[in-house]
């Protein structure tokens, strides 16, 4: 089974977005007022060539973010970008997931499942390439953003977007409290990893010797996971801490290649199949 990393450009976020600074209650104003940015961080998506069908985890970002109009349809985003320079995107048309799949010899039309870890714009920006796929989103994630979008841009969702909403009814994957079994073979599960957003989820692919943990934005790096350090951009800090604890417990027991979306080391770890090792931190 082959697993590919596809990097759909880079973004820069405020330093206080990556790492919580000061009191939790003031985390959002801290991000907005922070004048400093991180280095450019990758926007990763992942493709699994599974015997039961192609699985894509997240769709990355769109090159249209380079045009100010992209955000104009959403007043919150328009203001965040205009007045706070919330996120700097660098995505070209060649970076988008569709053309990159083609370069791997894969067609977006052949993708069976698109699993969205969550609905933030840099994970759903490539949705338009997948009108034929079964798009899988956590129910709480979708319903939360329908009521009050936070980081998602629903006015940029394709008109046909009607995702398959899931709960986690199958046998839990320890220590996560629930799981959704995606494949008949039982080697791919989706587990709830809330905290970063309303109903963030992660995908686990178990192979004969290692597990691949497609982590979305549960942390910005492996170090942040191991240090159990909160990011600044968390929707629910208590849930985010619990999620970091569950993932740490999981990787302690199962040799795991940990793959967050914006970790500069994630592509290399995948290529080398490098598992999380105890850091003593
Ligand atoms: Zn996010």
CA–CA dist 110, 88 (Å, integer): 32
Residue 212 lies in a domain: yes
Question: Does 208 fall in a domain?
Answer: yes
Give the model's pLDDT for residue 278.
Answer: 76
61 occurs within a structural domain: yes
Buried b (16+ CB within 10 A) or exposed e, 189-216: bbbbbbbbbbbbbbbbbbeeeebbbbbb
What is the phi/psi pair of residue 87, to 5°? -140, 135
Per-residue model confidence as pLDDT tens digits over 202-228: 999 999 999 999 999 999 999 999 999
Number of domains observed in the structure of the chain: 1
> Is residue 149 exposed (0-12), middle (13-18) or buried (19+ Cβ within 10 Å)?
middle
- What is the whole-number distance in angstroms between the Cα of residue 102 and the centre of ligand 1? 26
In a domain? residue 277: no
- Has residue 220 been placed in a domain? yes
Q: For residue 246, how far is its CA from the centre of ligand 1 (angstroms)?
A: 19
Q: Which domain holds residue 110?
A: 2-272
Return the pLDDT at 232. 87
Q: How far is the CA of 97 from the centre of ligand 1 (A)?
A: 18
For the chain, what is the total number of helices (H) and then of strands (E)? Answer: 10, 12
* Residue 208 CA to ligand 1 centre (angstroms): 30
Decide if pLDDT at 126 tops 80: yes
Domain at 98, CATH number: 3.60.15.10
Cα of 235 from ligand 1 centre, angstroms: 10
Closest CA to 145 of 130, 158, 157: 157
92 within some domain? yes
- 31 is a domain residue: yes
The pLDDT of residue 235 is 95
**189 part of a folded domain:** yes
Ligand 1 center to residue 278 CA distance, Å? Answer: 26
Centroid of ligand 1 to alpha carbon of 80 (angstroms): 15
| Contacting residues for 240 by C-beta, under 8 A, at least 6 apart | 194, 195, 196, 218, 230, 231, 234
The neighbouring-strand residues paired with 137 are: 165
Please give the pLDDT value at position 280: 62
SS3 content of the chain, % helix, strand, coil (to 5): 35, 25, 40
**For 144-191, what is each residue's pLDDT tens digit?**
999 999 999 999 999 999 999 999 999 999 999 999 999 999 999 999
Q: Which residues contact 281 (CB under 8 A, 6 or more apart)?
A: 223, 226, 227
The residue ranking higher by pLDDT, 280 or 229, is 229
Gap between the Cα atoms of 155 and 274, Å rounded: 39
How large a percentage of the chain has pLDDT more than 90?
A: 95
- Residues lining ion ligand 1 (Cβ < 5 A) are 120, 217
Mean pLDDT of 120-135: 98
Mean pLDDT of the region 136-141: 98
- Considering the entire predicted model, what is its pTM? 0.96
Burial class for 160, CB neighbours closer than 10 Å (0-12, 13-18, 19+): exposed
* Ligand 1 center to 262 CA (angstroms): 10
Residues 99-125, mean pLDDT to the nearest whole number: 98
């Amino acid at each position: 089974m082959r697993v590919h990393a596809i990097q759909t450009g880079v973004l820069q976020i405020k330093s206080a977005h990556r790492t919580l600074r000061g009191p939790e209650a003031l985390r959002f104003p801290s991000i907005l007022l922070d004048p400093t940015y991180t280095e450019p961080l990758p926007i990763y998506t992942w493709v699994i060539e599974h015997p039961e069908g192609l699985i894509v985890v997240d769709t990355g970002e769109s090159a249209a973010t380079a045009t100010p109009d992209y955000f104009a349809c959403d007043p919150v985003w328009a203001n965040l970008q205009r007045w706070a320079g919330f996120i700097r995107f660098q995505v070209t048309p060649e970076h988008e997931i569709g053309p990159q799949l083609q370069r791997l010899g894969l067609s977006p039309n052949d993708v069976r499942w698109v699993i969205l870890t969550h609905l933030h714009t840099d994970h759903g920006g490539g949705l338009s390439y997948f009108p034929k796929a079964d798009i899988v989103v956590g129910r709480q994630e979708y319903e939360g953003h329908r009521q009050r979008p936070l980081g998602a841009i629903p006015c940029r969702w394709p008109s046909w977007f009607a995702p398959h909403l899931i709960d986690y009814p199958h046998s839990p994957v320890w220590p996560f409290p629930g799981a959704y079994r995606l494949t008949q073979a039982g080697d791919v599960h989706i587990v709830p990893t809330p905290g970063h957003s309303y109903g963030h989820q992660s995908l686990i692919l178990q192979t004969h010797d290692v597990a691949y943990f497609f982590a979305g934005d549960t942390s910005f790096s492996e170090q942040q996971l191991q240090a159990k350090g909160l990011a600044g951009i968390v929707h629910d800090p208590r849930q985010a801490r619990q999620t970091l604890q569950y993932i740490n417990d999981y990787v302690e027991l199962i040799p795991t290649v940990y793959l967050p979306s914006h970790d500069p080391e994630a592509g290399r770890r995948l290529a080398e199949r490098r598992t999380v090792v105890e850091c003593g931190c």
